[in-house]
Amino acid sequence: MVGIVGYGTQIPRYRIRVEDIASVWGADAPSYKRGLNLNEKSVPGPDEDTATLSVNAARNALLRAGIDPQLIGAVYVGSESHPYAVKPTGTIVSEALGACPRVHTADLEFACKAGTEGLFIALHEVQSGVITHALAIGADTSQGAPGDALEYSAAAGAAAFIVGSEDLIAELLTTDVYMTDTADFWRREHTPYPEHGGRFTGVPAYFRHVTGAAKAIMDRAEMAPEDFDYCIFHQPNGKFPVQVARKLGFTEEQWAPGLLSPTLGNTYSGSSPMGLAATLDVANPGAHILLVSYGSGAGSDAFIFRTTERLSDVRDRAPHTRTQLDEYRVHIPYGTYAKFRRKILKAE
Amino acid sequence: MQVPRFWREIPRYYRLEAAACVQCDAIHFPPRKICPSCGANAFETVRLSGRGALTTFTIIRTPPSGFTDQAPYAVGIVELDEGVRLMAQITDCDVDTLKTGDRMIAKFRRIREEGRTGVIMYGYKFVPDVGV
Protein backbone atom coordinates (compact mmCIF):
# COMPACT_ATOMS: atom_id res chain seq x y z
CA MET A 1 0.00 0.00 0.00
CA VAL A 2 1.24 3.47 -0.89
CA GLY A 3 0.13 6.82 0.50
CA ILE A 4 1.02 9.92 2.49
CA VAL A 5 3.38 9.70 5.49
CA GLY A 6 3.65 13.42 6.25
CA TYR A 7 2.21 16.73 5.10
CA GLY A 8 2.78 20.40 5.80
CA THR A 9 1.81 23.84 4.58
CA GLN A 10 3.12 27.38 4.68
CA ILE A 11 1.05 30.52 4.20
CA PRO A 12 2.66 33.99 4.10
CA ARG A 13 1.79 36.38 6.93
CA TYR A 14 0.38 39.16 4.78
CA ARG A 15 -3.21 39.58 3.51
CA ILE A 16 -4.98 42.13 1.36
CA ARG A 17 -8.74 42.62 1.46
CA VAL A 18 -10.91 42.62 -1.67
CA GLU A 19 -12.11 46.13 -0.69
CA ASP A 20 -8.55 47.48 -0.75
CA ILE A 21 -7.95 46.19 -4.28
CA ALA A 22 -11.37 47.28 -5.56
CA SER A 23 -11.02 50.82 -4.22
CA VAL A 24 -7.84 51.38 -6.28
CA TRP A 25 -9.54 50.34 -9.52
CA GLY A 26 -12.96 51.85 -8.87
CA ALA A 27 -14.50 48.38 -8.85
CA ASP A 28 -17.48 47.25 -6.82
CA ALA A 29 -16.09 45.22 -3.92
CA PRO A 30 -19.42 43.72 -2.77
CA SER A 31 -20.07 42.25 -6.21
CA TYR A 32 -16.61 40.60 -6.23
CA LYS A 33 -17.10 39.31 -2.71
CA ARG A 34 -20.55 37.95 -3.48
CA GLY A 35 -19.85 36.84 -7.04
CA LEU A 36 -16.57 35.02 -6.31
CA ASN A 37 -17.02 34.29 -2.58
CA LEU A 38 -13.68 35.99 -1.87
CA ASN A 39 -12.92 38.22 1.12
CA GLU A 40 -9.13 38.49 1.14
CA LYS A 41 -6.03 36.78 -0.18
CA SER A 42 -2.53 35.97 1.02
CA VAL A 43 0.43 38.06 -0.18
CA PRO A 44 4.03 36.84 -0.04
CA GLY A 45 6.55 39.03 1.76
CA PRO A 46 9.37 40.60 -0.28
CA ASP A 47 11.72 37.81 0.85
CA GLU A 48 9.34 34.95 0.00
CA ASP A 49 8.95 33.02 -3.24
CA THR A 50 7.99 29.54 -4.41
CA ALA A 51 11.29 28.08 -3.19
CA THR A 52 11.01 29.51 0.34
CA LEU A 53 7.35 28.56 0.76
CA SER A 54 8.16 25.06 -0.55
CA VAL A 55 11.03 24.55 1.90
CA ASN A 56 9.04 25.81 4.90
CA ALA A 57 6.03 23.64 3.99
CA ALA A 58 8.27 20.62 3.42
CA ARG A 59 9.94 21.10 6.81
CA ASN A 60 6.49 20.85 8.38
CA ALA A 61 5.86 17.70 6.34
CA LEU A 62 9.14 16.24 7.62
CA LEU A 63 8.14 17.00 11.22
CA ARG A 64 4.98 14.93 10.71
CA ALA A 65 6.65 12.15 8.71
CA GLY A 66 9.52 11.83 11.20
CA ILE A 67 11.84 10.35 8.56
CA ASP A 68 15.49 10.97 7.70
CA PRO A 69 15.49 13.39 4.70
CA GLN A 70 18.14 11.19 3.10
CA LEU A 71 15.40 8.59 2.52
CA ILE A 72 13.66 10.92 0.08
CA GLY A 73 14.44 9.60 -3.38
CA ALA A 74 12.52 12.17 -5.43
CA VAL A 75 11.46 15.80 -5.05
CA TYR A 76 8.84 17.31 -7.34
CA VAL A 77 7.93 20.98 -7.11
CA GLY A 78 4.84 22.03 -9.05
CA SER A 79 4.43 25.77 -9.64
CA GLU A 80 3.72 28.38 -12.27
CA SER A 81 5.94 30.87 -10.41
CA HIS A 82 9.30 29.13 -10.13
CA PRO A 83 11.88 31.79 -9.10
CA TYR A 84 14.07 31.05 -12.11
CA ALA A 85 13.09 30.55 -15.75
CA VAL A 86 16.11 28.26 -16.02
CA LYS A 87 17.41 26.61 -12.83
CA PRO A 88 15.34 24.17 -10.84
CA THR A 89 13.45 25.03 -7.67
CA GLY A 90 13.74 21.37 -6.67
CA THR A 91 17.50 21.59 -6.19
CA ILE A 92 17.09 24.45 -3.70
CA VAL A 93 14.38 22.54 -1.83
CA SER A 94 16.31 19.26 -1.79
CA GLU A 95 19.48 20.94 -0.56
CA ALA A 96 17.64 22.89 2.17
CA LEU A 97 15.98 19.72 3.46
CA GLY A 98 19.19 17.68 3.39
CA ALA A 99 17.95 15.22 0.75
CA CYS A 100 20.89 15.70 -1.66
CA PRO A 101 22.68 14.26 -3.55
CA ARG A 102 20.96 10.96 -4.42
CA VAL A 103 17.56 12.46 -5.14
CA HIS A 104 15.71 12.73 -8.44
CA THR A 105 14.26 16.20 -8.91
CA ALA A 106 11.96 17.85 -11.41
CA ASP A 107 10.08 21.12 -11.53
CA LEU A 108 6.59 20.71 -12.91
CA GLU A 109 4.26 23.18 -14.59
CA PHE A 110 0.59 22.82 -15.47
CA ALA A 111 -1.07 26.06 -14.33
CA CYS A 112 -2.89 25.27 -11.06
CA LYS A 113 -2.48 21.49 -11.14
CA ALA A 114 1.30 21.28 -11.10
CA GLY A 115 1.16 20.39 -7.39
CA THR A 116 -1.04 17.33 -7.83
CA GLU A 117 1.04 16.30 -10.84
CA GLY A 118 3.95 15.94 -8.46
CA LEU A 119 1.77 14.02 -6.03
CA PHE A 120 0.54 11.76 -8.85
CA ILE A 121 4.08 10.97 -9.99
CA ALA A 122 5.39 10.56 -6.43
CA LEU A 123 2.63 8.11 -5.44
CA HIS A 124 3.07 5.96 -8.55
CA GLU A 125 6.86 6.08 -8.38
CA VAL A 126 6.85 4.84 -4.79
CA GLN A 127 4.20 2.27 -5.76
CA SER A 128 6.56 0.98 -8.46
CA GLY A 129 9.13 0.21 -5.77
CA VAL A 130 11.96 2.23 -7.37
CA ILE A 131 12.23 4.47 -4.29
CA THR A 132 10.86 4.28 -0.76
CA HIS A 133 9.92 7.94 -0.26
CA ALA A 134 9.16 10.92 -2.47
CA LEU A 135 8.29 14.54 -1.76
CA ALA A 136 5.62 16.35 -3.78
CA ILE A 137 5.06 20.09 -3.38
CA GLY A 138 2.50 22.45 -4.83
CA ALA A 139 3.53 26.09 -4.34
CA ASP A 140 2.94 29.42 -5.95
CA THR A 141 3.30 33.16 -5.56
CA SER A 142 0.87 33.81 -8.37
CA GLN A 143 0.35 37.19 -10.03
CA GLY A 144 -2.73 38.75 -11.59
CA ALA A 145 -2.40 41.85 -13.79
CA PRO A 146 -3.23 45.04 -11.87
CA GLY A 147 -6.94 45.72 -12.18
CA ASP A 148 -7.70 42.31 -13.73
CA ALA A 149 -10.25 40.02 -12.08
CA LEU A 150 -7.37 37.65 -11.28
CA GLU A 151 -5.78 40.24 -9.01
CA TYR A 152 -8.52 39.61 -6.44
CA SER A 153 -7.66 35.93 -6.15
CA ALA A 154 -4.00 35.35 -7.14
CA ALA A 155 -2.41 34.37 -3.82
CA ALA A 156 0.59 32.59 -2.31
CA GLY A 157 1.04 29.38 -0.35
CA ALA A 158 2.50 25.90 -0.41
CA ALA A 159 1.60 22.36 0.56
CA ALA A 160 4.08 19.49 0.77
CA PHE A 161 3.42 15.75 0.97
CA ILE A 162 5.90 13.02 1.76
CA VAL A 163 4.84 9.82 0.07
CA GLY A 164 5.85 6.36 1.24
CA SER A 165 4.67 2.82 1.69
CA GLU A 166 5.01 2.37 5.47
CA ASP A 167 3.69 4.32 8.47
CA LEU A 168 0.99 5.89 6.32
CA ILE A 169 -1.37 8.55 7.59
CA ALA A 170 -3.51 8.27 4.45
CA GLU A 171 -3.58 5.34 2.05
CA LEU A 172 -4.05 5.94 -1.66
CA LEU A 173 -7.01 3.93 -2.96
CA THR A 174 -6.85 5.04 -6.59
CA THR A 175 -6.11 7.88 -9.03
CA ASP A 176 -7.62 9.08 -12.29
CA VAL A 177 -7.23 11.95 -14.76
CA TYR A 178 -9.25 13.99 -17.24
CA MET A 179 -7.27 16.16 -19.67
CA THR A 180 -7.86 17.95 -22.99
CA ASP A 181 -6.25 20.82 -24.91
CA THR A 182 -8.36 23.79 -23.75
CA ALA A 183 -6.77 27.25 -23.71
CA ASP A 184 -8.68 29.00 -20.92
CA PHE A 185 -5.68 30.66 -19.23
CA TRP A 186 -2.08 31.12 -20.33
CA ARG A 187 1.05 33.20 -20.03
CA ARG A 188 3.48 33.61 -22.90
CA GLU A 189 7.26 33.66 -22.47
CA HIS A 190 8.68 36.99 -21.15
CA THR A 191 5.26 38.36 -20.18
CA PRO A 192 4.68 39.17 -16.50
CA TYR A 193 0.97 38.46 -16.20
CA PRO A 194 -1.28 35.70 -17.49
CA GLU A 195 -4.26 36.18 -19.77
CA HIS A 196 -7.49 34.26 -19.61
CA GLY A 197 -10.65 33.54 -21.51
CA GLY A 198 -13.00 35.27 -19.07
CA ARG A 199 -16.19 33.26 -18.74
CA PHE A 200 -14.68 30.55 -20.96
CA THR A 201 -12.68 29.49 -17.87
CA GLY A 202 -15.94 28.17 -16.37
CA VAL A 203 -18.10 25.55 -18.07
CA PRO A 204 -15.82 24.24 -20.86
CA ALA A 205 -12.71 24.46 -18.71
CA TYR A 206 -12.98 24.15 -14.89
CA PHE A 207 -16.35 22.46 -14.65
CA ARG A 208 -15.88 20.03 -17.54
CA HIS A 209 -12.52 18.75 -16.34
CA VAL A 210 -13.22 18.66 -12.60
CA THR A 211 -16.54 16.93 -13.16
CA GLY A 212 -14.96 14.55 -15.69
CA ALA A 213 -12.15 13.52 -13.33
CA ALA A 214 -14.46 13.22 -10.31
CA LYS A 215 -16.93 11.01 -12.16
CA ALA A 216 -14.16 8.90 -13.69
CA ILE A 217 -12.51 8.16 -10.35
CA MET A 218 -15.81 7.47 -8.57
CA ASP A 219 -16.74 5.04 -11.38
CA ARG A 220 -13.35 3.37 -11.11
CA ALA A 221 -13.62 3.04 -7.33
CA GLU A 222 -17.33 2.15 -7.48
CA MET A 223 -18.06 4.90 -4.98
CA ALA A 224 -20.72 7.61 -4.83
CA PRO A 225 -20.55 11.08 -3.20
CA GLU A 226 -22.21 9.77 -0.03
CA ASP A 227 -19.35 7.26 0.42
CA PHE A 228 -16.91 10.12 1.11
CA ASP A 229 -16.31 11.96 4.36
CA TYR A 230 -14.52 14.85 2.65
CA CYS A 231 -14.03 16.33 -0.80
CA ILE A 232 -11.59 18.94 -2.09
CA PHE A 233 -11.86 20.58 -5.49
CA HIS A 234 -9.48 23.14 -6.94
CA GLN A 235 -10.25 26.59 -5.55
CA PRO A 236 -9.71 29.38 -8.12
CA ASN A 237 -12.18 31.39 -6.04
CA GLY A 238 -14.70 30.57 -3.34
CA LYS A 239 -17.53 29.96 -5.78
CA PHE A 240 -16.42 27.34 -8.34
CA PRO A 241 -15.50 24.55 -5.89
CA VAL A 242 -18.82 24.90 -4.07
CA GLN A 243 -20.76 24.91 -7.36
CA VAL A 244 -19.01 21.82 -8.69
CA ALA A 245 -19.34 19.98 -5.38
CA ARG A 246 -23.08 20.67 -5.29
CA LYS A 247 -23.48 19.65 -8.92
CA LEU A 248 -21.76 16.32 -8.21
CA GLY A 249 -23.96 15.67 -5.18
CA PHE A 250 -21.64 16.52 -2.28
CA THR A 251 -22.71 18.44 0.81
CA GLU A 252 -21.22 21.39 2.68
CA GLU A 253 -20.12 19.11 5.53
CA GLN A 254 -17.85 17.31 3.04
CA TRP A 255 -16.25 20.36 1.41
CA ALA A 256 -16.15 22.92 4.26
CA PRO A 257 -12.98 21.69 6.06
CA GLY A 258 -10.90 21.93 2.88
CA LEU A 259 -12.39 25.13 1.47
CA LEU A 260 -9.75 27.80 2.14
CA SER A 261 -10.11 30.18 -0.82
CA PRO A 262 -12.63 32.68 0.69
CA THR A 263 -9.87 33.99 2.99
CA LEU A 264 -6.75 32.58 1.28
CA GLY A 265 -7.39 33.25 -2.40
CA ASN A 266 -6.16 30.98 -5.16
CA THR A 267 -2.73 29.61 -4.37
CA TYR A 268 -2.63 27.97 -7.82
CA SER A 269 -0.47 24.83 -7.58
CA GLY A 270 -0.88 24.97 -3.80
CA SER A 271 -4.66 25.33 -3.90
CA SER A 272 -6.26 21.89 -3.75
CA PRO A 273 -3.17 20.38 -2.02
CA MET A 274 -3.56 22.94 0.80
CA GLY A 275 -7.25 21.99 0.98
CA LEU A 276 -6.17 18.37 1.41
CA ALA A 277 -3.77 19.38 4.20
CA ALA A 278 -6.51 21.34 6.01
CA THR A 279 -8.77 18.29 5.68
CA LEU A 280 -6.11 15.95 7.08
CA ASP A 281 -5.85 18.34 10.05
CA VAL A 282 -9.39 17.39 11.11
CA ALA A 283 -10.15 13.98 9.54
CA ASN A 284 -10.79 10.95 11.71
CA PRO A 285 -9.12 7.60 10.99
CA GLY A 286 -10.85 5.64 8.23
CA ALA A 287 -12.15 8.77 6.50
CA HIS A 288 -12.49 8.67 2.71
CA ILE A 289 -11.23 11.82 0.97
CA LEU A 290 -11.74 12.80 -2.67
CA LEU A 291 -9.20 15.27 -4.09
CA VAL A 292 -9.66 16.76 -7.57
CA SER A 293 -7.30 19.42 -8.86
CA TYR A 294 -7.65 21.59 -11.93
CA GLY A 295 -5.04 23.21 -14.12
CA SER A 296 -5.83 25.48 -17.02
CA GLY A 297 -4.77 24.27 -20.38
CA ALA A 298 -6.53 22.03 -19.17
CA GLY A 299 -6.80 19.00 -16.93
CA SER A 300 -7.69 17.51 -13.57
CA ASP A 301 -5.99 14.87 -11.43
CA ALA A 302 -8.18 12.91 -9.03
CA PHE A 303 -7.21 10.93 -5.95
CA ILE A 304 -9.06 8.93 -3.30
CA PHE A 305 -7.36 8.59 0.08
CA ARG A 306 -8.39 6.73 3.24
CA THR A 307 -6.92 8.04 6.50
CA THR A 308 -5.28 5.74 9.04
CA GLU A 309 -4.96 5.59 12.82
CA ARG A 310 -1.51 7.21 12.60
CA LEU A 311 -2.93 10.53 11.36
CA SER A 312 -4.06 11.64 14.80
CA ASP A 313 -0.61 10.80 16.24
CA VAL A 314 1.27 13.11 13.85
CA ARG A 315 -1.06 15.99 12.97
CA ASP A 316 -0.04 18.14 15.95
CA ARG A 317 3.68 17.85 15.23
CA ALA A 318 3.42 20.84 12.87
CA PRO A 319 1.13 23.88 12.57
CA HIS A 320 -2.38 23.24 11.27
CA THR A 321 -3.24 24.93 7.97
CA ARG A 322 -6.36 26.62 9.36
CA THR A 323 -4.25 28.06 12.22
CA GLN A 324 -1.76 29.49 9.72
CA LEU A 325 -4.63 30.97 7.74
CA ASP A 326 -6.74 32.39 10.56
CA GLU A 327 -4.20 33.34 13.21
CA TYR A 328 -1.08 34.39 11.30
CA ARG A 329 -2.16 37.40 9.31
CA VAL A 330 -1.52 41.08 8.97
CA HIS A 331 -3.57 43.13 6.54
CA ILE A 332 -1.63 45.47 4.27
CA PRO A 333 -2.81 48.34 2.06
CA TYR A 334 -2.60 48.22 -1.73
CA GLY A 335 0.57 50.34 -1.80
CA THR A 336 2.47 47.86 0.37
CA TYR A 337 1.07 44.97 -1.65
CA ALA A 338 2.21 46.66 -4.89
CA LYS A 339 5.68 47.17 -3.42
CA PHE A 340 5.97 43.59 -2.15
CA ARG A 341 4.82 42.22 -5.52
CA ARG A 342 7.19 44.53 -7.42
CA LYS A 343 4.37 46.22 -9.29
CA ILE A 344 5.97 49.66 -8.83
CA LEU A 345 8.53 50.91 -11.34
CA LYS A 346 11.50 52.42 -9.57
CA ALA A 347 15.15 53.23 -10.21
CA GLU A 348 17.45 50.22 -9.93
CA MET B 1 28.58 37.94 -2.92
CA GLN B 2 30.06 35.81 -5.65
CA VAL B 3 28.25 32.60 -6.62
CA PRO B 4 31.11 30.24 -5.57
CA ARG B 5 31.46 31.94 -2.20
CA PHE B 6 27.75 31.69 -1.54
CA TRP B 7 27.66 28.08 -2.79
CA ARG B 8 30.33 27.12 -0.24
CA GLU B 9 28.11 28.45 2.55
CA ILE B 10 24.99 26.43 1.56
CA PRO B 11 25.28 23.90 4.43
CA ARG B 12 25.24 26.80 6.93
CA TYR B 13 22.75 29.06 5.17
CA TYR B 14 20.26 26.38 4.10
CA ARG B 15 20.50 23.77 6.86
CA LEU B 16 22.13 25.52 9.84
CA GLU B 17 24.85 22.89 9.92
CA ALA B 18 27.21 23.36 12.85
CA ALA B 19 30.26 21.52 14.18
CA ALA B 20 29.98 19.63 17.48
CA CYS B 21 33.33 18.93 19.14
CA VAL B 22 33.68 15.17 19.71
CA GLN B 23 35.85 15.81 22.80
CA CYS B 24 33.94 18.47 24.76
CA ASP B 25 30.53 18.61 22.92
CA ALA B 26 30.81 22.36 22.33
CA ILE B 27 28.83 23.42 19.26
CA HIS B 28 30.32 25.94 16.86
CA PHE B 29 28.50 27.90 14.19
CA PRO B 30 30.02 28.50 11.77
CA PRO B 31 32.15 25.36 12.11
CA ARG B 32 35.76 25.70 13.28
CA LYS B 33 38.93 23.81 12.44
CA ILE B 34 40.09 23.83 16.08
CA CYS B 35 37.70 23.80 19.05
CA PRO B 36 38.14 27.13 20.93
CA SER B 37 36.91 25.41 24.11
CA CYS B 38 39.28 22.42 24.30
CA GLY B 39 41.66 22.58 21.33
CA ALA B 40 40.43 19.35 19.74
CA ASN B 41 40.25 19.11 15.96
CA ALA B 42 37.58 16.46 15.44
CA PHE B 43 33.94 17.42 14.95
CA GLU B 44 30.58 15.91 14.05
CA THR B 45 28.20 17.80 11.80
CA VAL B 46 24.94 18.62 13.58
CA ARG B 47 21.89 20.55 12.40
CA LEU B 48 20.77 23.33 14.71
CA SER B 49 17.13 23.41 15.77
CA GLY B 50 16.54 26.95 14.56
CA ARG B 51 14.60 27.69 17.75
CA GLY B 52 15.75 30.18 20.34
CA ALA B 53 15.28 33.59 21.94
CA LEU B 54 16.08 37.10 20.74
CA THR B 55 19.10 38.40 22.67
CA THR B 56 19.46 41.84 21.15
CA PHE B 57 18.43 43.66 18.00
CA THR B 58 18.56 46.91 16.09
CA ILE B 59 16.09 48.40 13.64
CA ILE B 60 17.31 49.33 10.17
CA ARG B 61 15.43 52.34 8.82
CA THR B 62 18.00 53.37 6.19
CA PRO B 63 18.75 50.10 4.46
CA PRO B 64 21.51 49.29 1.99
CA SER B 65 20.61 48.64 -1.65
CA GLY B 66 18.72 45.39 -2.11
CA PHE B 67 16.84 45.78 1.15
CA THR B 68 14.84 48.98 0.56
CA ASP B 69 11.56 47.11 -0.03
CA GLN B 70 11.78 45.65 3.48
CA ALA B 71 12.49 48.78 5.57
CA PRO B 72 12.06 49.21 8.43
CA TYR B 73 13.37 45.79 9.43
CA ALA B 74 15.18 44.30 12.40
CA VAL B 75 18.54 42.59 12.57
CA GLY B 76 19.21 40.72 15.77
CA ILE B 77 21.19 38.09 17.62
CA VAL B 78 19.27 34.94 18.49
CA GLU B 79 20.52 32.49 21.08
CA LEU B 80 19.42 29.06 19.98
CA ASP B 81 18.33 26.42 22.46
CA GLU B 82 21.68 24.66 21.81
CA GLY B 83 23.45 27.74 23.21
CA VAL B 84 24.75 28.95 19.85
CA ARG B 85 24.25 32.63 19.04
CA LEU B 86 23.79 33.83 15.49
CA MET B 87 22.98 37.09 13.83
CA ALA B 88 20.22 37.32 11.26
CA GLN B 89 17.44 39.44 9.93
CA ILE B 90 14.17 39.24 11.88
CA THR B 91 11.30 39.17 9.40
CA ASP B 92 7.48 38.85 9.54
CA CYS B 93 7.35 41.01 12.66
CA ASP B 94 6.17 44.37 13.86
CA VAL B 95 9.47 46.10 14.63
CA ASP B 96 7.80 48.43 17.15
CA THR B 97 6.65 45.60 19.41
CA LEU B 98 9.71 43.36 19.08
CA LYS B 99 11.50 42.80 22.39
CA THR B 100 14.47 40.88 23.71
CA GLY B 101 13.52 37.47 25.05
CA ASP B 102 10.94 36.90 22.29
CA ARG B 103 10.92 33.30 21.09
CA MET B 104 12.18 32.95 17.52
CA ILE B 105 12.14 30.27 14.85
CA ALA B 106 14.35 30.11 11.76
CA LYS B 107 12.64 30.17 8.38
CA PHE B 108 14.02 29.72 4.89
CA ARG B 109 13.94 33.04 3.04
CA ARG B 110 15.49 34.99 0.19
CA ILE B 111 18.48 36.85 1.60
CA ARG B 112 19.42 38.89 -1.45
CA GLU B 113 19.72 38.72 -5.20
CA GLU B 114 22.24 40.01 -7.69
CA GLY B 115 19.90 42.42 -9.46
CA ARG B 116 16.88 41.36 -11.49
CA THR B 117 18.84 38.92 -13.65
CA GLY B 118 21.42 37.53 -11.23
CA VAL B 119 21.46 34.62 -8.83
CA ILE B 120 19.09 34.53 -5.84
CA MET B 121 20.72 33.80 -2.49
CA TYR B 122 18.67 31.94 0.09
CA GLY B 123 19.26 31.33 3.75
CA TYR B 124 17.88 31.66 7.25
CA LYS B 125 15.99 34.53 8.83
CA PHE B 126 14.11 34.47 12.09
CA VAL B 127 10.42 35.10 12.66
CA PRO B 128 8.60 35.33 16.00
CA ASP B 129 7.70 31.76 17.04
CA VAL B 130 3.94 31.99 17.42
CA GLY B 131 3.21 28.37 16.57
CA VAL B 132 2.64 28.73 12.85
A48/B131 CB distance under 8 A:
no
CATH class of A173-307: alpha beta
Is pLDDT of A200 > 80?
yes
Computed over every residue of chain A, the mean pLDDT equals 97
For chain B, the residues whose C-beta falls within 8 A of a C-beta of chain A are: 10, 14-15, 47, 69-70, 89, 91-92, 94, 107-111, 115-116, 120, 122, 125, 127, 130-132
Test B107 with A83 for CB contact under 8 angstroms.
no
Interface test with B, best of A10, A47, A54, A343 (most B CBs within 10 A): A47
The complex scores an ipTM of 0.97
Q: Tens digits of per-residue pLDDT, A158-186?
A: 999 999 999 999 999 999 999 999 999 99
Length of chain B: 132
Does the beta-carbon distance from A52 to B130 stay under 8 Å? no
Lowest mean pLDDT among A83-87, A192-196, A263-267, B117-121: A192-196
Catalytic residues of A: 80, 112, 234
Question: Same fold for the domain at A3-169+321-340 and the one at A173-307?
Answer: yes
Please provide the DSSP assignment of A179-196 as one string. EEEE-SEE--TT-SS-EE
Q: What is the pLDDT along chain B (132 residues), one digit of tens a residue?
A: 689 999 999 999 999 999 999 999 999 999 999 999 999 999 999 999 999 999 999 999 999 988 999 999 999 999 999 999 999 999 999 999 999 999 999 999 999 998 889 999 999 999 999 988
Contacting residues of B for A328, CB less than 8 Å apart: 130, 132
Asked if residue A88 lies in contact with residue A107, where contact means CB atoms within 8 angstroms, the answer is: yes
The C-alpha angle with vertex A147 and arms to A144 and A148, in degrees rounded to 5, equals 50
The reply to whether A58 touches chain B by the CB within 8 Å rule is no
pLDDT value, residue A289: 98
Chain B CB within 8 Å of residue A222 CB: no
Across A111-136, average pLDDT? 98
Chain B residues within 8 A of A45 when measuring between CB atoms: 70, 91-92, 109
pLDDT score at B30? 94
Residue A348 has pLDDT above 80, yes or no: no
Q: What is the C-alpha to C-alpha distance for residues A89 and B126, in angstroms, rounded to an integer?
A: 22
A98–B110 C-beta distance less than 8 A: no
- Burial (CB < 10 A; 0-12, 13-18, 19+), residue A317, is middle
CA atoms within 13 A on the CB side of B57: 30
Is residue A346 scored above 90 in pLDDT?
no
Ranges of each domain in chain B? 3-128
Give the per-residue pLDDT at B115: 87
- Measured N-to-C along each axis, helices A271-280 and A114-128 cross at an angle, to the nearest 10 degrees, of 60
End-to-end CA separation in angstroms for chain B: 32
Q: With DSSP H G I counted as helix, E B as strand and the rest as coil, what are the percentages for chain B, rounded to 5?
A: 10, 40, 45
Span A206-214, mean pLDDT? 98
Using pLDDT thresholds of 50, 70 and 90, give the confidence band for residue A198. Answer: confident
Give me the helices (H) in chain A, please. 18-25, 29-36, 50-65, 89-97, 114-128, 208-221, 240-248, 252-255, 261-264, 271-280, 311-314, 321-327, 334-340
Q: What was the pLDDT predicted at A3?
A: 98
Of all helices (H) and strands (E), which one includes residue B122?
strand B120-128
- A253 contacts: CB under 8 Å, gap ≥ 6: none
Report CB contact under 8 Å: B10, A348: no
- Would you kindly state where each structural domain of chain A is located, as residue ranges? 3-169+321-340, 173-307
> What percentage of chain A's residues is helix, strand, coil (to nearest 5)?
40, 25, 35
pLDDT at B117: 92
Q: What percent of chain A has pLDDT over 90?
A: 97
Short-list A210, A112, A201, A207, CA closest to A148: A201
pLDDT digits (tens, 9 = 90+) for A38-84: 999 999 999 999 999 999 999 999 999 999 999 999 999 999 999 99
**Is residue A310 within 8 angstroms of chain B, CB to CB?**
no
Q: What is the pLDDT of residue A158?
A: 98
Class in CATH terms, A3-169+321-340: alpha beta
Sheet (strand A40-43) strand order: A40-43, A14-17, A330-331
